[in-house]
Structure 1
Amino acid sequence: MNKYTVMAVGLVLSLGLVAGCGSSDGDDSGAKPKYGSSAGPDAAAPKGPAYKGPAIPGLAAKPAWSLPPAHAIDLGDTLLFVKDAQGKYALGRGYAWEPVDGSVGTLHFTDDPEPATLEFRDVKTGAVRKSLKVTTDRVAATTWHDGVKAVAVFARATTESDGLSKEKTTSTVTVYGSDGAELGKATTEGDEFDVREGHIIQQDGDASLKLTPIEGGPAGKVTCTGQLARCSFDARTNEIDGGQAHAPLITGKYAFHVENASTYEDDPEQLVMTELATGKTVWSTADVTPPKGVDLDKDGKRTSGALRVLDVRDGRVLTAWGAGAFAPDTWVTATYDIAGGKQVGGSSKYSYGDSPTDTINTEGSSVFTPDHTLAAAHTEEGTAVWRPADGHEVWAQKEGEKAMTPLRFSPNGVLYGSTKEDDFSERVFLAVDGRTKKVLAKSLPEQNLPLFSQPSGYGYISTDKGFFVFPSQGQ
């Protein structure tokens, strides 16, 4: 994806990414059942349809439980379902700006706030732990502080013009945790905003983002710098979009911004990580040495402005650097220690297939196992699997093989992906052993590619026959 494609997408996002968001007035109708071993209001695991599909590598042969056709938001130890006033489960299909990992972003959407029921079901048994009646026009996946999975329930209210005043829209957002308990609630003007990490995220001019804590407190601001700088928030990837530089906007107690996020750049763009509470800089790509394989000019500056932060965890930053001005689709990954700024382990260098239809975060990125011990990159030759900790390549496809696009890992290392015979053929979905490259299944229906809930390791699929939840293979 070239710089101008990214900027165009960022502009579209900033203009209308989350139009239609709103909040709830939660009415707790399931407060009596105790969260934990109790089955909840339904008092028993659901008895849904029987699974008659193919065996799925990485999962047990039989599901632990099932429901009629439905989709869910994964909250870790629970799955969140939405029922409309007629008792029908939301399917969560067809909404724009969905996450790139295949999970559900927006589960329920209506033009105006309507009654709905939230069901928090135990991921292992399917028993309802809590049920809440709300009035909402949108239910979406989000995160609370430190990446804790949560659900945001929106409701809009519009005050019509009296003939002289302007029509006014306000939106209320209520965030619930996996146990159905309310984590925070806030009301804001308008409906063009997003919710992440316990903050309302709003565009504030071309180069700034306003971050307002949902539980109260002063709003903060993230500003990208540079001549005619632009930056925005991409809810599909949860990244700040600053031209050629991308990073998680908020990750735990840190936030990122872009220096020299310019449309006319004299110097390479830099990613700067600051303390979310204070704005103090704690790490910057400007202060570290680019990994081996990144081209530098005679002044020691990078010849490419392309730069990404892929992950921040355990005191380390995982990065991807554009290899050079004349290698726009080649990236070099490297891990750095936050405290000392030194590179940890080696690096991996990959060339990615250039696609004119690629408008989201796929180039320069990887898919990870849940414990982040393995990553799979989508390269020109297909899939390459590597270790983020030390940059070691585990295996890679070679010329002459059917190039596989990696999609996601199971907790036990099964990698699911897709292949195509040519540009005009349909995609074929398969599963391989992520550590050995052994093909485990060469033709899976797309609906049967599982998502996985952590920390249980249970996998789930949603098909036109039903919603099925499986233990991990061997559990």
Structure 2
Amino acid sequence: MNRIRTTVALGLVLSAGMVTGCSAGAESDAKASGGEAGKGTQSSPAAPKGPAYKGKPVPGLAAQPAWSLAADEAGNCAGKASEKDSTQLDICTVGDAVIVTGYSDGQSGTRTFTARLLDAKSGTLRKKFDFALPADSGDSSSPTVALAQVGTWRDGSPALLIRNRLDTPADGLKKASTKTVLTMYAPSGEKLGSSTFDDDTHMSTPVKNGYLVEAGMADGAVFTPIGDGQPLTTEASHIDLDGAVGSGLGYTSQQDISFQPHAEWLTATDVRTGKDVWNTKDLTPPAAIAQQVTEDKATSARLMPFEGDTALLEWSSYGDTEAVMTLIDVKTGKRLTEGPTIDTNGTTDDDALAITPDGKTTVVQYGEGAVAWNTQTGKELWRQAADEVTITPNALPGNGILYAYLDGTAAALDARDKKLLLSGIEQMPQFTTNGYATIRTPDGLFSFAMQPI
């Protein structure tokens, strides 16, 4: 049986490159060996001046935006590189930059897809991508030609993925052909890597940590690096990879059921090599869990992502809902910190995790209520009371605020004691790695400087 608990970690500080100002346009002669479908030119536009913010002030953010874009200029944002569905264009930040996308109409029914990387602090342009689209045929099934998506590079740092479909019409004896160019950029606009593939199959293939991931339900997976490097075939299935943790290709986990004694040992496997690297049967559980071990009943464990190559390992006595959280080195299973107890509910639908940029404080929701704790000392800071609404953590950007959902309503709480500061936030802010946050409203997109409380 394979039980993998998945979480979303927000509010992390990740590396960002140096700031540049340039623009890129689509080229029709992408190299078959792998290349960027674009050409850069230098530009230094002034910071945009947009509409005033009319919403309620959000705790932890400046009262007025540093800059803004009107709705028609802001257009949409970007999607997720790790997901096939390209219809959700609601990710507006990537590292210390803001990403906006849109379309413009040209002559004879032609259109242009544009993606812009903007400096989160000033709104100035870092890099622009323009892709000419085919004339509108009126066919709703026309293929997608260009996409902008947010993901991560091989070191875990934020990155922008541009997918570009290139169609070459038939010419003389040559048949018509299609290629797909996938290029990843740092938030600075610097190109990280680019690859070209035949046909258009990879316009929707998930990309995780700089790798194109083709995974079957049980037939293993192929990881193809964007840029340099050779494809790697592993035995990990689509189900195995859903909960992979760690940088690069990461580590996956499997539950090994035992009936003598009753236990659910957890085996961690290196996705790259397919080798088992550690098993909870060989690890020492927290003292509170060890005391419950008998000849007939041992332990259960679940592995959840944290950041980098650290992970959360949840220990419990077999069949019990009370568990103890630990922070481990996922490469070895070595315990780094023992955290507080939590009461799990056995489901993963409402799992959530938020971490401060320094990694020292986290708020988790893995069952019956949220718990905040210090990841260096293991000390519990606070926990949700039984008579309180469900607190689902969203972000801990380091300004003293926990941004969370209270039974689905966006809210801001004091991160130190969960005191409610504001409920009913119009839209949850999205945070950059350099102290800014974006908010989208019907009036446009606004970038605010963060402020400590």
Q: TM-score, normalised by structure 1?
A: 0.69
Which one of the candidate residues 99, 102, 106 is aligned to 1:80?
99
| TM-superposed deviation, 1:282 | 5.7
Give the corresponding residue for 1:153.
Answer: 162
Give the corresponding residue for 2:412.
Answer: 431
State the alpha-carbon separation in 2 of the partners of residues 380 and 149 from structure 1. 29
Residue 182 in structure 1 maps to residue 196 in structure 2: no
Give the corresponding residue for 1:206.
Answer: 218
Contact 1:152–1:173 (CA under 8 A) maintained in structure 2:
yes
Give the corresponding residue for 2:15.
Answer: none
Contact 1:172–1:185 (CA under 8 A) maintained in structure 2:
yes
Which one of the candidate residues 278, 288, 308 is aligned to 2:283?
288
| TM-superposed deviation, 1:379 | 5.8
| TM-superposed deviation, 1:50 | 0.1
Give the letter aligned to residue 320 of structure 2.
A
Contact 1:198–1:214 (CA under 8 A) maintained in structure 2:
yes
State the alpha-carbon separation in 2 of the partners of residues 157 and 445 from structure 1. 42
Give the corresponding residue for 1:232.
Answer: 239
State the alpha-carbon separation in 2 of the partners of residues 169 and 300 from structure 1. 59
1:259-307 Cα shifts (integer Å, max 9, x gaps): 4579x9997353425385x6676655454223344464527743x3x51
The secondary structure found in structure 2 opposite 1:147 is coil
Contact 1:293–1:349 (CA under 8 A) maintained in structure 2:
no
Give the corresponding residue for 2:70.
Answer: 68
Structure 1 gap ranges (5+):
8-22, 34-39, 88-112, 161-166, 225-229, 234-239, 421-426
The secondary structure found in structure 1 opposite 2:194 is strand
Give the letter aligned to residue 310 of structure 1.
P
Give the letter aligned to residue 26 of structure 1.
A
The secondary structure found in structure 2 opposite 1:336 is strand
Which one of the candidate residues 446, 449, 453 is aligned to 1:468?
446
Give the letter aligned to residue 37 of structure 2.
G
Instruction: Name the % identity.
Output: 28
| TM-superposed deviation, 1:450 | 1.1
State the alpha-carbon separation in 2 of the partners of residues 353 and 404 from structure 1. 15
Give the letter aligned to residue 439 of structure 2.
I
Residue 298 in structure 1 maps to residue 300 in structure 2: no
Give the corresponding residue for 1:19.
Answer: none
1:172-223 Cα shifts (integer Å, max 9, x gaps): 3121222223222223463452112221111146152211112232222333
| TM-superposed deviation, 1:470 | 0.6
| TM-superposed deviation, 1:416 | 1.6
Alignment of 1:52-451 (within 5 A): 52-69=54-71, 70=74, 71-72=76-77, 73-86=92-105, 115-134=112-131, 136-156=145-165, 171-188=180-197, 190-191=201-202, 193-204=205-216, 206=218, 208-224=220-236, 231-232=238-239, 240-241=241-242, 246-248=243-245, 251-253=246-248, 255-259=250-254, 268=264, 270-272=266-268, 274=270, 276=272, 285=280, 287-294=282-289, 296=293, 298=295, 301-302=298-299, 304=300, 307-313=302-308, 317-321=310-314, 323-327=316-320, 330-337=322-329, 342-352=334-344, 359=349, 362-363=350-351, 365-378=352-365, 382-420=369-407, 427-441=408-422, 443-447=423-427, 449-451=428-430
Structure 2 gap ranges (5+):
7-33, 78-91, 133-144, 170-175
State the alpha-carbon separation in 2 of the partners of residues 430 and 216 from structure 1. 43
State the alpha-carbon separation in 1 of the partners of residues 196 and 4 from structure 2. 34
Residue 49 in structure 1 maps to residue 51 in structure 2: yes
| TM-superposed deviation, 1:137 | 3.2
State the alpha-carbon separation in 2 of the partners of residues 6 and 337 from structure 1. 17
Give the letter aligned to residue 326 of structure 2.
A
Contact 1:417–1:431 (CA under 8 A) maintained in structure 2:
yes
* Length, aligned pairs only: 381
State the alpha-carbon separation in 1 of the partners of residues 335 and 3 from structure 2. 30
1:297-318 Cα shifts (integer Å, max 9, x gaps): 527743x3x51132254xx633
> In the superposition, relative to structure 1, how do residues 398 and 374 fare at CA in structure 2: closer, same or farther (>3 Å)?
same
State the alpha-carbon separation in 2 of the partners of residues 413 and 348 from structure 1. 21
Give the corresponding residue for 2:139.
Answer: none
| TM-superposed deviation, 1:367 | 1.8
Contact 1:256–1:271 (CA under 8 A) maintained in structure 2:
no
Contact 1:377–1:384 (CA under 8 A) maintained in structure 2:
yes
Give the corresponding residue for 1:92.
Answer: none
State the alpha-carbon separation in 2 of the partners of residues 419 and 258 from structure 1. 31
State the alpha-carbon separation in 2 of the partners of residues 299 and 219 from structure 1. 46
Contact 1:254–1:273 (CA under 8 A) maintained in structure 2:
no
Contact 2:283–2:333 (CA under 8 A) maintained in structure 1:
yes
State the alpha-carbon separation in 1 of the partners of residues 5 and 155 from structure 2. 27
> In the superposition, relative to structure 1, how do residues 198 and 379 fare at CA in structure 2: closer, same or farther (>3 Å)?
closer
> In the superposition, relative to structure 1, how do residues 452 and 279 fare at CA in structure 2: closer, same or farther (>3 Å)?
same
State the alpha-carbon separation in 1 of the partners of residues 392 and 254 from structure 2. 32
> In the superposition, relative to structure 1, how do residues 173 and 343 fare at CA in structure 2: closer, same or farther (>3 Å)?
same
Give the corresponding residue for 1:27.
Answer: 38
Moved more, 283-292 or 408-417: 283-292
| TM-superposed deviation, 1:45 | 0.9
State the alpha-carbon separation in 2 of the partners of residues 199 and 285 from structure 1. 29
Moved more, 184-193 or 122-131: 184-193
| Alignment RMSD | 3.8
State the alpha-carbon separation in 2 of the partners of residues 311 and 383 from structure 1. 16
